[in-house]
């Protein structure tokens, strides 16, 4: 099977024009089929402030009400997605922007209300890769924002890390998938203040130990859960680190294994 | 050659939830390959007001500055485009949203400055249908917003009627293209106040006469110029009227011929 690279970038790159520009130039030069997934960054919060839409919170969790969903759709699927696509095209990479509604590619359900109603937040239930495969075979690069849909006309806000892992799992039927989570650190760190303390490999054995020692906590927990979910569902390779891990053979990063 | 329908809808449908819903349901049921092009409606103006971005005018013409381009990108490519796509998916039509940057499908140049600098406004120079043809063959329906790009990383605001006619011309190499401009009237009217006074056919001969008699003026002039441009460049059929012309065999509408 052919190798497919799925690369997720987050707010630290999205919010920095120079970093985004440099990354997209490098990304465009990557050979072989590839998919980009981008997070949202700070622009949605800024727009909400400009529009006087307040951030809704319940029990410390962000709620996606209709106004927030509209803002996310405008910023993620509009401004950021098109900025990424137009810059990739300028670098010779034939990109097409996607939400999960486009090509019916990512189907989700509105998160069931237990103690908290998260609003228009979607949990992924199915990935359709047929149309995406047609495009990858035509040398097109899909660029995903973090929005899905429920097949009944409702857009839903979905975590970008989850979108990347679910796409990786969906594509592993037809590709050997490598999943790269790019963020601001060199990988999962033994000491959060020392970017040279990269844990080069995390597997199901040392993972629990790292959680118990609180070396992995907070925001890293859901990210690593996405990584393990992918690696357990036939994704061949899952890595966390700076974008350099994709381009520099000497870069340090963390690899997730079974 | 197979027939391809290209259908352009404007603000009168976009701004009316019930009308948009009804139209998209009918559109989804149309058999055969099809492309939808949508205008912007009033949402961009509303968002600009909410964000305190003033509409820039020079000599009575709207100027697309950077703030306005950002708003257009958010509203046209984000909110409206994804709303259309998600509703088409709910009606069983496998749609993918496009700007001209996506798939490098519509290349334009920033309008040269003569007496007026229109800002980030693009005049179409080339349509690339290769990727779009791959999708049409896979039973996917492209949905275009009115944004193009210059291949150098710049998005550009482009008239939706022009996008529809340029796509129609581009596709006429591989399809027998029918181009339908949907708007709020039954067609081009002999008497602007009488919706039953439809001029059923306009050709290059009676066109000049209708202009001289001021029966065709103002906003209808650029629309008809787009129609004639298309019909002169191998588009098989060009029609103007209400969306009913697509679904109701008894509907009145205007056909443009050579």
Query: Which parts of chain B have pLDDT scores under 70?
Result: none
Rounded to 10°, the helix A220-232/A160-171 angle is: 10
Nearest CA in chain B to A89: B151
* Cβ distance of A79 and B79 shorter than 8 Å: no
Known binding residue A41? Answer is yes
What would you measure as the largest C-alpha separation in chain B, in angstroms? Answer: 50
* pLDDT, average across residues A45-67: 88
Instruction: Give CA separation, A217 vs A188, A189, A209, A210, B80, in Å.
Output: 11, 11, 12, 9, 39
pLDDT of residue B43: 94
* Cβ distance of B103 and A94 shorter than 8 Å: yes
Q: Is the pLDDT of residue A60 over 80?
A: no
Please tell me which of the candidates A89, A102, A138 has its beta carbon nearest to residue B97: A102
Percent of chain A exceeding pLDDT 90 equals 93
Tell me how crowded residue B191 is: count the other CB atoms within 10 A of its CB.
9
**Where are the strands (E) in chain B, listed by range?**
3-9, 34-38, 56-58, 61-63, 95-98, 106-110, 122-127, 141-144, 147-149, 155-157, 176-182, 201-202, 237-241, 254-256
* Cβ distance of B104 and A89 shorter than 8 Å: yes
Instruction: Give CA separation, B55 vs A67, B7, B63, in Å.
Output: 23, 29, 8
Can you tell me which residue has the tokens 């003033």?
Answer: B54
Residue A226: band (very low, low, confident or very high) from pLDDT cuts 50, 70, 90: very high
Measured between beta carbons, which residues in chain B are less than 8 angstroms from residue A96?
96, 98, 102-103, 131
Supply φ then ψ for residue B180, to 5 degrees. Answer: -120, 120
Token representation of residue A32: 């072989």
* Cβ distance of B134 and A138 shorter than 8 Å: yes
- Predicted complex ipTM exceeds 0.95: yes
Token representation of residue A228: 């393990």
H helices present in B151-256, as ranges: 160-171, 204-212, 220-232, 244-247
Residue A59: band (very low, low, confident or very high) from pLDDT cuts 50, 70, 90: confident
A196 by Cβ neighbours in 10 Å (0-12 / 13-18 / 19+) ranks as exposed
pLDDT of residue A61: 77
Distance between A180 CA and the closest CA of chain B, angstroms: 23
Which one of B74, B106, B137 makes the best mutation probe of the A interface by having the most chain A beta carbons within 10 Å? Answer: B74
- Across-strand partners of A61? A58
For residues B209 and B75, what is the distance between their CA atoms, to the nearest angstrom? 39
Measured between beta carbons, which residues in chain A are less than 8 angstroms from residue B131?
94, 96, 135, 138, 140
Measured between beta carbons, which residues in chain A are less than 8 angstroms from residue B53?
none
3-class DSSP state of B103? helix
For residues A225 and A221, what is the distance between their CA atoms, to the nearest angstrom? 6
For residues B190 and B69, what is the distance between their CA atoms, to the nearest angstrom? 37
Known binding residue B62? Answer is yes
Q: Is the pLDDT of residue A12 over 80?
A: yes
Q: Which helix (H) or strand (E) holds B26?
A: helix B17-29
pLDDT of residue B57: 80
Can you tell me which residue has the tokens 């406004």?
Answer: B121
H helices present in chain A, as ranges: 11-14, 17-29, 43-50, 66-72, 81-90, 130-137, 160-171, 204-212, 220-232, 244-247
Rounded to 10°, the helix A17-29/A81-90 angle is: 50
* pLDDT, average across residues A189-211: 95
* Cβ distance of B131 and A138 shorter than 8 Å: yes
Q: What is the mean pLDDT of chain A?
A: 96
User: Could you say which DSSP state residue B121 is in?
Assistant: B
To 10 degrees, the CA torsion angle through A114, A160, A143, A126? -40
Q: Is the pLDDT of residue A41 over 90?
A: no
* Cβ distance of B97 and A95 shorter than 8 Å: no
Q: Is residue A95 within 8 Å of residue A141, measured between CB atoms?
A: yes
List the domains of chain A with CATH numbers. 3-256 (3.40.1160.10)
Distance between B137 CA and the closest CA of chain A, angstroms: 10
Please tell me which of the candidates B82, B87, B99 has its beta carbon nearest to residue A99: B82
* Helix and strand element counts for chain A (H, E): 10, 14
pLDDT of residue B103: 98
Residues of B with CB under 8 A from a CB of A: 47, 50-52, 70, 73-79, 81-83, 85-87, 89-90, 94-99, 101-104, 130-131, 134-135, 138, 140, 147, 149, 151-155
B181 by Cβ neighbours in 10 Å (0-12 / 13-18 / 19+) ranks as buried
Instruction: Give CA separation, A74 vs A165, B42, B77, B79, in Å.
Output: 24, 15, 8, 5
Q: Is residue A50 within 8 Å of residue A192, measured between CB atoms?
A: no
Known binding residue A219? Answer is no
For residues A159 and A162, what is the distance between their CA atoms, to the nearest angstrom? 5
Which one of A24, A25, A46, A101 makes the best mutation probe of the B interface by having the most chain B beta carbons within 10 Å? Answer: A101
pLDDT of residue B219: 84
């Amino acid at each position: 099977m052919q190798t497919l690279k799925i690369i997720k970038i987050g707010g630290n790159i999205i919010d920095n024009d120079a970093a985004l520009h440099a990354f997209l130039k490098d990304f465009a030069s990557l050979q072989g089929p590839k998919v980009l997934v981008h997070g949202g960054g700070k622009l949605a919060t800024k727009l909400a402030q400009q529009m006087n839409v307040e951030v809704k919170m319940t029990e410390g969790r962000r709620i996606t009400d209709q106004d927030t969903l509209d803002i996310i759709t405008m910023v993620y699927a509009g401004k950021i997605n098109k900025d990424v696509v137009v810059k990739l095209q300028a670098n010779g990479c034939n990109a097409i922007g996607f939400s999960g509604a486009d090509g019916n590619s990512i189907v989700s359900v509105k998160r069931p209300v237990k103690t908290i109603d998260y609003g228009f937040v979607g949990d992924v239930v199915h990935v359709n890769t047929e149309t995406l495969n047609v495009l990858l075979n035509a040398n097109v690069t899909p660029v995903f924002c973090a929005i899905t849909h429920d097949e009944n006309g409702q857009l839903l806000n979905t975590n970008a890390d989850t979108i990347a892992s679910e796409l990786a799992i969906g594509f592993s039927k037809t590709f050997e998938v490598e999943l790269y989570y790019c963020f601001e650190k060199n990988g999962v760190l033994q000491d959060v203040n020392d970017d040279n303390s990269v844990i080069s490999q995390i597997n199901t054995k040392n993972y629990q130990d790292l959680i118990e020692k609180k070396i992995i906590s907070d925001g890293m927990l859901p990210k690593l859960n996405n990584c393990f979910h992918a690696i357990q569902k036939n994704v061949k390779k899952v890595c966390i680190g700076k974008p350099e891990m994709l381009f520099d053979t000497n870069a340090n990063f963390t690899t997730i294994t079974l």
